[in-house]
Structure 1
Amino acid sequence: MKRIFLLISLIANSLLISAQVSVEAEIDSIQIFVGQQTHLRLTTNVQPSQKVEFPQFQPTQMITPGVEVLKCEEQKQDIGDGFEARTMVYTLTSFDDTLYYLPPLTVKVDGKQYKSKSLALKVLTIDVDTTKVDQFFGPKDVQDNPFLWSEWSLPFWLSVLMLVLLALCYYLYLRLRDNKPIITHIRIVKRLLPHQKAMQEIEQIKADKMVASENSKEYYTKLTDTLRKYIEERYGFNAMEMTSSEIIERLTASQDQKALDELRELFMTADLVKFAKYSTLINENDKNLVSAIDFINQTKLENQPVEEKVKPQLSEEDQRTQKSRRLLKTVITLISVVCAGLFGFVAYTLYQLLN
């Protein structure tokens, strides 16, 4: 009876351990550029006494055609309850841009085989303009510079500043001597409002017939750049450096849901065209163009000044007042003092460098 009980216990324990063994496969990044590396982790939870055999690959051996294994590294970690996690980390790379299927990997635990799930790896490339090879030059030889620019840069730029200040000082002196005004006329600067700029660019898109062009990427790039510039000037945040989702999130509090949905759909289509080579139809292009125009018309601010005056012209009587002459003298004196200080500092610095 004892032997039978012991045999039953061993069989039950073996079945329990077998049921608790699992193999998990995960990859750090499912999308890399050509030549970049990523890590595939194959993990199983076992008891310390169990024997685990992971798939082994030699350096540069293919895990699947087109995907190389650079190295393998086994790791262990205690997870409690008498079990430990054993992990094999495979460093992968690829030099062909395509979508790879990574087949299930088989792990042996005490001679019994367990398979992981299959994975996918997308390898991207960067377009290179090979038609303009004359713009690329080979490396130059190492130059033996007699001095370090970092030591001479400060006195050089201070000398340039001193010359500019001296020229300004001389100009103000001539103005003071001849009693000529510094500002001779009124300048009125006219500027376009953000929505006016955006509508001009959209009219240019129409004039260029980009809506019906086969080059959807150029059309959506121009259209989204126009919207980003408008949003940046209209709402005051750097939309040109933000992703489409970040722009929509910033606009959520200030726009109605319908306008945001149309804008989100436009940006999503543009992203698909630019990054996933998605082909659009002419009616889809027309719809997105109308959505862009509607968004601009719904959010534009028209009650803004379009002209800016730059300092009114001074009269001849005002030019000759004692206050103006005193101000010019004060400015000339300050510039002279600054130039004298700069000259002394530059001269001292050059003396230290030359000695």
Structure 2
Amino acid sequence: MKRLLLCGLLFAAVTAHAQQPVVTARVEPDSLMIGDRFDYVIEVEKDLVQTVAFPLFEPNEGDRHFELVEELPVDTLQRDGRRIKLRKRYRLAAFQEGHHDLGPAEILYADKNIVDTLRTAERLHLEVTTFQIDSTSHSIFDLKPQRDLPFRMGEIRGYLLWSLFGLLLLAAALWALLRYLKKRGATLGGLFAPAPALPPHVEAIQALEELHNRKLWQNNRHKQYYSGLTDILRSYIARRWEVGAMEMTTDEILSALRPLDLPDKARMDLTAILRDGDLVKFAKATPDAETNENAYLKAYYFVEETKPATEQAEPNAENE
């Protein structure tokens, strides 16, 4: 009896883990006037270990029926044990009257080795109406033609005088600079000589800090964040070991670095960053805040652990 009970519990646990997320969507309101705004809402109930990515509403030049006004962050509605319910809200404006079939809402779903697109069972509909104009009680007139006015010199005289004054100041500043450089024995070409290139690890650390300060993933710009993170590491690897990492895939980069004597932690951190970056850029995954912050720290310490060793200080002179 105990064995049967244990088997039943294991079966229930596996079934619960394999259950796909439940997707629902709605339009608030589903009827409005042309030019008004409405909310496109998607709700997902899923397991904690499952990953979902909500759709992106990007401007489309061929379809101006709707325009994205605001994209709100993902909200957590409730959490019950391993189950969690999320809500994503998009605020749009409608510019085409009529009955619109928005189709089913879609999300990207990833769990272990499974990547799939989930859709709602129902299709969403939106009714857009416009103002009725009574042409019988109002007269409609055509636009008046544009008037051509004669050109007058006085209209641009002030601009010409100020431009001439600016050119004189620029010429005087250039003459003073040339005299100063001549006294010091320098040339104008040496003044604009390019600065020496920074070492690869210094350039990579500065780029990582600048990327971190932009707070991309905090503003739901996960793709830009991971693209910048992986590009910085690829550029560092290309300069550090002269590997064509900018044109390589993740597997090719890892294979090229396999013969090198790298710390095990650095190698594992690089693999994790590149793999997560591929999921975000190509599978539209949305990692959580802890994963995003850890990706930056892993990239930072990968550069620190693999930078060239500093030169040994020359031995002191022997005592006389």
TM-score (norm 2): 0.37
Bigger CA radius of gyration: 1
Question: Counting helix residues as a fraction of each chain, which structure ranks higher?
Answer: 1
